[in-house]
Amino acid sequence: MQIIKHKLGALTALYAERDGSVTFTLAPTATLKNIDEKKLTLDGVKFGRPDPMVQVHVFGDAANRQYSAGRTMRNSDSCFQLKYDGQTVQRRGGATEIATRFRRADGQTAEHRLRHKPGRRFVECFTAYTNGSDRDVTLEMLSSFSIGCLTPYAPDNPTGKITLHRMRSQWSAEAQLESFPAETLQLEPSWLNYGARGERFGVAGSTPCRGFMPLIGLTDERARVTWAADWDAPSSWQAEFYLSQNAANLSGGLADFEFGHWRKTLRPGETFAAPPARLTAARGGMDEAAQILTEFQREKPLPPREEGLPILYNEYCKTWGQCSRENLLPLIDASAKLGIDTFVIDAGWYDKADKSSGFYAPKRDYYPDGIGEVVRRINAAGMQAGIWFEYESRDYDELTRGGYGDCLLTRGGVPIRNMERAFLDMRRPEAAAELDKSVIGFLRDNGFGYVKVDYNENIGVGCDGAESLGEGLRQHALAARGFLERIKRALPDTVLEVCASGGLRTEPSFIAAADQVSYSDIHEADEGAIVAGDLHRVLQPAKSQIWAVIRAGDDENRLVNTVSKCFLGRMCFSGDVDQMNAAQEAVVRRAIALYRECAPVIRDGRSYFLGKRGKSLRNPSGYSAVLRAGRGGAVLVVNTFDGKRGVLSFRHKALKGLKIRSVFATSGAEAEVEGDGAVVIRGLGARSGGVVLLN
C-alpha cells in the first residue's frame, strides 16, 4: 500500500497503489495538506477495493458483479488482472511525462501516460494496451482516462455537496451545461456499501455532439475544487459517473461494446491506444475548469491571416442554395463596401448531375464564365474567397450515378442510407484520390483561400470493414478528420471551417483540425446569443463562427440584437446586406469598427457568465451576459429576451479599474461605470442587445 505523488506546477498527480491495483487522482497542489490519505488507500473500508486507473475489458474475462452487467463495463476482472509493474518519469525541456505500467500473468500489458508542460493548468493522458500474450485478444472497452477517489478531501462524500456536470447538446441547442447534485443519479452508497452505482452516457454515431459533448466534471462544493476532463471523440464516445467505496469516479473515452458496439482485436505484439484526454483539478467551479481545458486549443496558433479575427460574409441566408453569379455580384459589392474580409459561397453552387470534372462541377448556367471568374471578382474587391463542400454524405443516386457505389459505407453488406442520403467510405484510397482532385485541386485551381467543410447526417452505430461496427466507425471518422489535415498540408494558407449541421462536431479533435468552427445553425432565433456564449466552455471564441443575419426590414433593435452576439466569437454576416438603408448600414459599420477594437480581448481573454435567464432555450426569458476579460481590457456582451429590463448592473473583479471606451447599443441605451468594478446599462428593451468595451 503506497501513495506516489508528482507535483506538476499548480497540479499534483496522485497514484494510490493497493494489492497491485492503482487508483489515480489529481489535486490542486495548494490543497495537498487537506487530502485524506486514508480515503486514497481505502484503509479500514469494508469491501475495500481500489478503482483501477486503467478501465479495460477483455472479451472472455469475467464482468464485475454488484448488479453492474449491462449497465457498465467498468471494474471487470480485466482491470484487476493488470498488476502494477512500475512507473518511470522523464523530464525533457521542462515537460514531464509519467508512464505507469501494468502487466497480466499471460503477458498482456497496459501503460498509462500522463504529460504536463510548464505553465499548463491541465495534463494530457492516454492509455495504450499491448497484447503480449501468445493468442489474439479482443478488447471491448478501453478508457482514455479514469479519475478516482473524488472527493479526496473528506472520508465520506458530504451529502448535498458533490455537484456533477455534463454538457448536453442538440441540433440548434448546443453546449447546454447541466449541473446537478450527485444524489440525483443515486450516486451515494447503499446501507452495505455494496452495489455498482453510476451512469454511462455519451453519443453513438458520427456527429459526436448530438446528445452530449465529450466533457465531464465534478465539484466538491465544500472544498471549492472542480475536476474536469475532455477527450478526442470524433465518433462514438462515452463517459461515466461511477460510485466506488463512497468515492465518485469519472471516466471516459471510446464507446464500449455495450454502448457503441466496439470491439478491437489485437494480434500478439499489437498495441492499441485510446484517444488522448485532457484533465484538470481547479480551484473554483465548472466554468473555470472547463475553460482551462480549452486552453489546449490555443497551443496550435491561428494562421497569420486569422490573428486579427477577420470578418466574414456567407451568402446562404440570402440565396438559400441558389447562389449564381447574377445574385452573388451585388452581395460581393455590398460586402466589400462594408469592409468584410472574407466572402463565402455556400451550398448550391455545383451541378449534382454533371460529373465531367469529378464530384464537383459548378452549374454552367449559374457560372457561365466559370466559378473562377467570381473568385477574381471577390479578390478584386479586396476580399478572400471561400466555398462550401459536403463530401462525406451525399445523395445515394448521385454517388451511384457517378460510379462511387463501391465506395459507400455499408452495414451488414448493405449501403447505409438515411432516406436519400448515403455515406462515402473515407477509408477507401479511391475516395481519397477523388477528393484530392475534386476538393483540394478545385480549391487550388480556382484560387479559393477559405473552405467550409459541412456534414449533415449521422451514420449511426457503425459500419462494416473492421472487427466490429464501432471499430469500423472509429476508423472512418479518423479518416474523415485526416482528410481535413490533408487539405491543410496541401494548402497550408487555406483557412478551414468545420461545420456539422452547425455545431455537431464541436469536439477537441475536429476543433484542432479547424481554423474556425460553426457555432450552430441558429441563424435568426433569439437563443443564438445563449448558445454563442455557452460555447465558451468548450470552444475558444477565436474559432467560434457566429452569424448575424441581416434583413431588409430590420429595425434598430433587431439589428443591434443579432449583431451583438457576434462579439462572442467570430463575426460572420449573412442575409440582405445589399438591401440595407443608410441607417442600417451605419449600425453595421459601427459594429464592425468596434469588433476590430475588441478582437484582441475576444481572442486572448477569459469568460465570465453573468446572465440570469429561465430554463427554456427555445423561449428564453431574462437576459444573457458574458464578460470577456484579458490584459487588453474587457468586452461585455448582453442580450435581453423578455420585457423591458430597465437597469442592468454587472459587478465583477475583472472590471475593477476599467473605464468604458465604446458602447454598441440601440439609441437611448447607455452604459456607465459605477464605483469600482461595476458596469450599469440602462434603456435596453426586450429582445435587444449591447456591447461595452472597457480598458
- pLDDT (average), residues 570-592: 98
Q: What is the mean pLDDT of residues 568-580?
A: 98
Find, among 232, 228, 229, the residue nearest to 218 by Cα. Answer: 228
Confidence of residue 677 (pLDDT cuts 50, 70, 90): confident
Q: What per-residue confidence (pLDDT) applies to 378?
A: 98
pLDDT in tens, 152-210: 999 888 899 999 999 999 999 999 999 999 999 999 988 887 888 999 999 999 999 99
Which pLDDT band holds residue 29 (cuts at 50, 70, 90)?
very high
**Is 459 domain-assigned?**
no
Kindly list the distances between the CA atom of residue 536 and the CA atoms of 186, 676, 694, in Å, as whole numbers in the listed order.
30, 26, 20
Question: Does residue 235 fall inside a structural domain?
Answer: yes
555 falls within a domain: no
- Joined together, the cell numbers standing for residue 538 give 468548450
Q: How many domains does the chain have?
A: 1
pLDDT digit string, tens, across residues 94-153: 899 999 999 999 999 999 999 999 999 999 999 999 999 999 999 999 999 999 999 999
Asked if residue 325 belongs to a domain, the reply is no
User: Per-residue b/e over 521-530, b at no fewer than 16 CB within 10 Å?
Assistant: bbbebbbbbb
Does the residue 143 lie in any domain? Answer: yes
Cβ contact 654:691 at 8 Å: no
Cell numbers placing 265? 482485436
Q: What is the CATH number of the domain that holds 191?
A: 2.70.98.60
pLDDT digits (tens, 9 = 90+) for 275-314: 999 999 999 999 999 999 999 999 999 999 999 999 999 9
Give residue 381's pLDDT.
98
Is residue 260 a part of any domain in this protein?
yes
Is residue 400 one of the residues assigned to a domain?
Answer: no
Cell of 19: 494489492
In a domain, 37, yes or no: yes
* Omega before residue 410 within 30° of 0, cis: no
Cα angle for residues 231, 235, 239 (degrees, 5° grid): 45
Identify the pLDDT of residue 45: 67
Percentage with pLDDT > 70 across the chain: 98
Q: Which band of pLDDT confidence, cut at 50, 70 and 90, is reported for residue 355?
A: low
pLDDT at 638: 97
Q: Which single residue is written with the C-alpha cell 449541473? A: 179
| DSSP track, 182-230 | GGGGT-S--TTS-S-EEEEEEE-SS-TTSEEEEEEEEEETTTTEEEEEE
Q: Which of the four pLDDT bands, split at 50, 70 and 90, describes residue 644?
A: low
Domain that holds residue 283: 2-298
Q: What number is the average pLDDT over the span 229-251?
A: 95
* pLDDT at residue 356 greater than cutoff 90: no
